[in-house]
Chains A and B, each alone.
Chain A
Amino acid sequence: MSQRGKINLIIFQTLIFSLLFALFGRLFYLQVLDSDRYQDAAISIQSRDIVTPAVRGAITDINGSPMVVDLPGLVLFADRSTLDRQADKGVSILSRVATLFRLEYSDIYQRTRLCGELPRENRAGCWNGTRYQPIPLIGNASQELALKVIENSDLYPGILIQSVPIRSYPSLAGENAAHVLGYVGAVTDEDSLNPEKNYYRSEIVGKSGLEDKYNDYLRGTPGVRTFLVNRKEIVTKESKNIQAIAGNNLITNIDSKLQAAVENALESAIFRARSSGYRGDSGAAVVMEIKTGRVLAMASYPTYDPEIWQRGLTVKQAKDLFSEAKGVPALSRPIQGLFAPASTFKSVSVLAAAKAGYSLTARYDCPATVEIGTRTFKNFGSEAAGRIPLDIGMAISCDSLWYQIAYDEWVRDGGLKPKSNANDHFFNAAKAFNIDKITGIDLPSELKGRLPDRQWKQNWYDQNKNFFCNYKERAKKEDLTPYLIEIARENCLDGNKVRAGDAVNFSIGQGDTLVTPLRLAEIYAAIANNGLYYKPQVARAIVDVDGKVIKEFKPEVAGKVEAEESTWDFLRRSLRMVVTQGTAAGVFAGFPVEVSGKTGTAQVFGRNPNGSAKDDTSWFAAYGPTKDPQYVVVMMVSQGGFGASTSGVAARDVFAALFGVSGNRVDPERVIFPNGVPKTIAKVDLTKAAKESSNKQGKIRVGSVVVE
C-alpha cells in the first residue's frame, strides 16, 4: 500500500472511531444526564388515569342537619368528539335533546361549547373544561326522560347518561344560604395548570363560598385507576388502582332555621322598602355570636337557587347572576358589599370623643345646621333639638353635635396644615376596629372597608389629581356643572388634605368611609363585649364520614379596642336608649326581650342606571339581650330608605326568631338556642336529606353507568 493510502487509512480509522464515540456521547446524554426528563415524558405517553370522583362531603348546619349533600342523580353528558364527527356537528342530536327535555336549544348548544371557542362577550354558560371530558349537559335529569334517551340510544350518539353523585340542597328548614355555601364546578384549565392544586380533570371542585374555602376537606381523594396503553390506546395493563375516599363533612355555625328566618326578614325588609317607594335593590344580614365570632346566619339579597349550577346553567341564568339590572345575585353582600355606615358609626365617634376628653355626661348643642367654612352641614331632617345630653343625641341620632366636635378636633389637629403629631382621635378610633382590613372570615373573596384617613387622602389625590386639575378637558359634558367644576377646583388645590368637611362627614360615617355589613357586625360585637371581638367563622368543625372530628375551628380573638369601662357603659346605655326612646323605639315597642342597637341612614351619591338619584342605605346594627349580650345582628338594605323602618324592623324579626318571640311574649318552645349556642360538635345526620331526595327521584345506584 502506498504512503498516501496508509495516511488515508489512518484518517478513515479515526473517523469511524470518532463516529462511534459520538454515538456513545449522545447515549450518555440521553440515558444518564437527561434521563429524568425522558422518563417523565414516557410516563405521560404510556399511562391513562381513569378518575372516579370521591363522594364530596356534606355541609351541615350547627345541628348536623345537611344544607348541601352529594346525592345520586342522573346526568346527561355530551361527548364532544362523537358530536363533532357527525355530519352536522351534532346539531340534530342536541336539538333532539333540547326538545325531549323541553329546554332551549341555544342553552344546550352553549353548554357543549368550550369557553375558549367563543368570543369573550358570549361565554355565559360555556363549558370550562376540555373537549375530552364528558361535558355535563343536564344535571338531575328525570328518570323517565333519561330512559327515553337510553331506549333510543341510536338517536343520541355521543350522549351518555350516568348516575353520579351531584350536589343537592335539601333546604330542610327552608334556608337558601346560596352565598355562604357557594357552588362547585368542573376543573378549569387554570386549575389544572396550578401545581399546588393537583386536581384531576374530571373532578368537581369548589368554586366559591364554603365549597371553595374548604374544598380540600370536602373533596376527598378521587379513586384513580392507572392503565398502561399502547399506541392504539388499547389497554395493556392496569398499573394502579386507588379506591376513592369520601370527602369529610363540614359542620358550620349556621343554624338553618335561623338562616331561613334571617333570609325571610331580609326579603321582607326589601319588599317593605320598595312598597315605601324606595328602590331597595339589595341587602345583607349577619347574625354572629358575640363571644366567639361564630356566624350563625348570613344572608344576601338578591339570591339565587344553588341548584341551578347542578341542573346546568342556562345562558340567561349565567347572565342574570352577574347582571346589574338583576342586582348582581352572585355578589355576597355581607362580605363584598361596601357601604357608608352612616349613623351606626357614631358609636365609634363616641369612643373618639371620650379619648379626646369630651365629657360623656355633658350637654351638647344639636342645631339644625352648622356652618363650616363655606359649607352648611344640616342635621338629619334639618331639625334642631336644642342643647341635649350626649346619650339623647345618640338615641335621636343628632348629626350636628358631631359636626361641632369633629370640626373642633380637626382645628386642634392643625386644620389644613396638620400637625405632625396630630391626635386624629376619630381616625384612630376607627382604626382600632380595623375597618380598613378584611375581617378574615373563612369565606373567599372578602372585601375590606375604607378608612379615609390622611394617608388614604394622599394616595387618592396622587391617583386623581390629573383628572381634577384638568377637569374641564377631561370630564364628561354633562358633568360640567358650576358646582362640580368648583369641587374639582378644590380637589385640585388641596385634595390631598383632610378638609373640615371630610372630618365632619367622617364623624357621622359618611363621606368616603365604607364598611361591609360583616365589619359593622364586628364593631357592634366589640361594643357589646367591652372591646374584645373575634374573627367571624362559618366553619365549626370538619368530621370524617364516621363522625370523627378531623379539625375543630376554635374561636380566635381578632382584636381588642381599648376604652374606659365607663365609656363602654355609656355607649351601651346610649344604644339601649335608641331602642327604648330613640329612633328605633317605635319598631321595638312592646318587644319582650331587651336589645340595643343603632339606626343608620346613609346618603349615597351617584345615580342608578335609569338616571334616578340613589336612595339612602338603611342600616340597623344591634345586639341582645342588652344585659348579657349574646348575639349581634346587622341588617342592611341598599337604597332602602330609613334605618329604623326598613332594617330596624327586619332586625327585630331576627331577634324574634332567635328568642322565640311571638307577639309580645317569649315562647320557650321556639327559642333557637334554648341553652345557648351548642358547645359540642353535632352529629351529622344525612338520612333526612336522602329521604327528601328519594321522594323526588326514586332509586338510583351511585356510580353506575346507565348508558354509554
Chain B
Amino acid sequence: MSQSIKYRANRRLNSGKFDNILNFAVIGLLAIGTLLVYAGTREWFRSYGLDPEYYLKRHSINIVIGVLLAYGTTLIDYRLLRAYTPIIWLAAVIGLVLVLIPGIGSEINGARAWIALPGGFQIQPAELAKIAIIVGIAMILADRDQTDQDPSDLDVLKALAISAVPILLIIAQPDLGTVLIISAAVVAMIGASGARAIWVVGLLLLAALGVFTAVQTGAVNEYQVARLQSFVDPNADPQSTGYQLRQSRITIGSGGLFGKGLFEGPQTNGRFVPEQQTDFIFTVAGEELGFVGCSLILFLYFLIFLRGFAICKRSSDLFGRLVCIGVIAWFGFQTFENIGMAMGLMPMTGVPLPFLSYGGSSMFANLIGIGLLQNVYARSR
C-alpha cells in the first residue's frame, strides 16, 4: 500500500519534465510541414481561383487538435492506459470494419480507408489501429508476475492474435503500406520484449512469404502490383505510378544543394507530382529547400529516434519500453517507407510522412504517439 502511495507521488505528471529535445524536433517538423503543405497547395488552389490558404488553415487546425490530443495523452499515467487499451482496440476494429462497408467507407486510389464525416472531414481508422496495436501488444507482453521473466510463447501468441485482427482488416482495404508498418512495429516489439528469437525469425519469414503469395495469388489488387512493378521499372508506364515515381525523383533531384527557395519550386507549383501535400510532401522539401533543408528534416527525425530510444532506456518498466519501441518502429518505418518511395528506394505504397504530410488522422495518431513517448518520459526515474 505504502509502495503504491509512493509510486503515485513520484510519478505525478510534471509538465516541466517533458523531453524538450523531442518537443523541439517535433515542433520543428510541424513548422516545416506547415510551410511545405502551404507551398504544395497555394499555386494549385490559386490557379482555380480558390483560397490558396485552404490547406494551410486545415493543416493548422489538424496540428492544434493533434497537440491537444498529445497533451491529453500525457495526462493519464501510461500504466493506467492499459485500462483503456481494450476500448481503443475495439474502437479501431469497429472503425476498420465500418470502413469496409460501402456507403460508409470511401474509396480513394483503390483503397477503402476513410470514413467521411460531416464538414468534409474524414477519419482513417487504420491510424487509430496503430496506437491500439502498439499499446495492446505492450500490455500483453509486459503483463507478468516477475519483471525479469521473458514473455512466454503464449503471450506472444496472444500479442499476435490482437494485432492480427486489425491487420487483416487493413489488408482487406487494402492498404499494404500501413500493414507493413504495423507488422514491423509488432516484430520489433516482440523482439525487444525478450521473446524467443524463433518468433522474430519466424515472423520475418512469414512476412516475406505473405508478400510473395499475396502478389502471386492476386490477393493484392492490380493497382498495387502496378505500383510494385513501376518501382522495378519506372519507365514501364509513363502516365501512372511510374510517372509519379519518376516525377518525384526529378523534383527532388532538381532541388540541388540549396533548393529553389520556399514557394519557388516550378515542379511543385506546376503540380507535376500528384499528392504532393500528402504522400509526396517530401518532393516539395526536396525541390524548394534542397539538400540542406532535407538534411535538416532528416536530422530532426534522427533527434526523434534518438530521444525515443533514450526514453525507452530510461523507462523503469517493460510496458513503457515496449510502447516506446512500438512508436519508434512505427515512425521509423513509416518515415523510411515514405521518403524512400519519394526518392525511388522503396515501392509506392501511399503512406503519409509523419509530422509533415497533410492529413488529420495521421497527424492525430502521430502526435498521440509523441504524447505516449512524453508520457513515459515524464513518469520515468
Contacts and interface: CB of A to CB of B under 8 A. Distances in A.
A30 B253 contact: yes
Interface stretch (A31-39, A446-454, A497-505, A524-532): A31-39
Interface string B103-137: 00000000000000000000000000000000000
B194 A42 contact: no
B343 A23 contact: yes
A87 interface: no
B254 A228 contact: no
B252 A31 contact: yes
Given A20-B302, A27-B295, A31-B286, A4 B345 contact: no
Interface string B279-299: 000000010001100110010
Which one of B266, B298, B318 has the highest number of Cβ atoms from chain A below 10 Å of its Cβ? B266
Contact of B305 (A16, A27, A38, A46): A16
A23 B301 CA distance: 11
Nearest to B298: A24
Interface residues of B, number: 54
A31 B192 contact: no
Interface string A20-54: 10111011101110110111011001100000000
B274 to A, nearest CB: 8
B295 A26 contact: no
Interface stretch (A6-14, A614-622, A637-645, A693-701): A6-14
Interface stretch (A229-237, A417-425, A465-473): A229-237
Contacts of A362: none
Contacts of A13: 309
B352 interface: no
Main secondary structure of the interface of B (DSSP, over half): helix
A39 B47 contact: no
A23 B255 contact: no
A63 B298 CA distance: 74
Given A31-B286, A230-B271, A236-B47, A12 B191 contact: yes
Contacts of B309: 9, 13
Given A20-B305, A23-B345, A9 B312 contact: yes
A19 B291 contact: no
A132 interface: no
B185 to A, nearest CB: 11
A1 interface: yes
B272 A231 contact: yes
Interface stretch (B171-179, B243-251, B356-364): B243-251
A195 interface: no
Contact of A45 (B148, B193, B250, B318): B250
A20 B301 contact: yes
A609 interface: no
Interface stretch (B10-18, B62-70, B92-100, B325-333): B325-333
B305 A31 contact: no
Contact of B254 (A3, A12, A42): A42
Interface in B304-340: 305, 309, 312, 318, 321, 325, 328-329, 332-333, 335-336, 339-340
A17 interface: yes
B150 A38 contact: no
A453 B266 CA distance: 67
B336 A31 contact: no
Given A22-B345, A39-B253, A231 B270 contact: yes
A271 to B, nearest CB: 61
B200 interface: yes
A373 interface: no
B230 interface: no
A31 B194 contact: no
Interface in B252-277: 252-257, 266-267, 269-272, 274
B191 A8 contact: yes
Contacts of B192: 1, 5, 8-9, 12
Contact of B325 (A2, A9, A230): A9
Which one of A5, A19, A35 has the highest number of Cβ atoms from chain B below 10 Å of its Cβ? A5
Contact of A1 (B47, B321, B332): B321
Interface residues of A, number: 38
A46 B191 contact: no
B256 A42 contact: no
B305 A17 contact: yes
Given A20-B301, A23-B336, A42-B250, A32 B269 contact: no
B157 interface: no
A375 B39 CA distance: 94
B271 to A, nearest CB: 5
B328 to A, nearest CB: 6
Given A9-B312, A42-B266, A230-B270, A30 B257 contact: no
A366 B255 CA distance: 88
Contact of A26 (B47, B148, B340): B340
A34 B5 CA distance: 62
Contacts of B336: 19-20, 22-23
A1 B324 CA distance: 14
Given A12-B191, A22-B345, A28-B291, A38 B253 contact: yes
Contacts of B312: 9
A22 B345 CA distance: 9
A35 B253 contact: yes
B162 interface: no
Nearest to B340: A23
A234 B150 contact: no
A8 B272 contact: no
Contact of B150 (A2, A11, A45): A2
Nearest to A26: B343
B197 interface: yes
Contacts of B148: 2
Contacts of B298: 20, 23-24, 27
Contacts of B325: 9, 12
Nearest to B267: A42
Interface in B3-52: 43, 47
Interface string A201-216: 0000000000000000
B84 to A, nearest CB: 24
Contacts of B267: 42, 45-46
Interface string B220-260: 00000000000000000000000000010111111111000
Contact of A12 (B188, B257, B271, B344): B188
A236 to B, nearest CB: 6
B343 A4 contact: no
Contacts of A46: 266-267, 270, 272
A52 B257 CA distance: 36
Interface of B: 43, 47, 148, 150, 188, 191-194, 196-197, 200, 247, 249-257, 266-267, 269-272, 274, 286, 290-291, 294-295, 298, 301-302, 305, 309, 312, 318, 321, 325, 328-329, 332-333, 335-336, 339-340, 343-345
11 contacts: A1-B321, A4-B150, A20-B335, A23-B340, A26-B344, A27-B252, A27-B343, A30-B253, A31-B252, A41-B250, A230-B269
Given A230-B270, A236-B270, 19 more contacts: A1-B321, A4-B150, A4-B196, A5-B193, A9-B192, A11-B191, A16-B332, A23-B298, A23-B345, A30-B286, A32-B291, A34-B253, A35-B254, A35-B256, A38-B254, A39-B254, A45-B272, A229-B270, A231-B271
9 A-B pairs with least C-beta separation:
A38-B253, A5-B194, A2-B194, A42-B254, A230-B270, A31-B291, A8-B191, A16-B332, A19-B336
Interface of A: 1-5, 8-9, 11-13, 16-17, 19-20, 22-24, 26-28, 30-32, 34-35, 37-39, 41-42, 45-46, 228-231, 234, 236
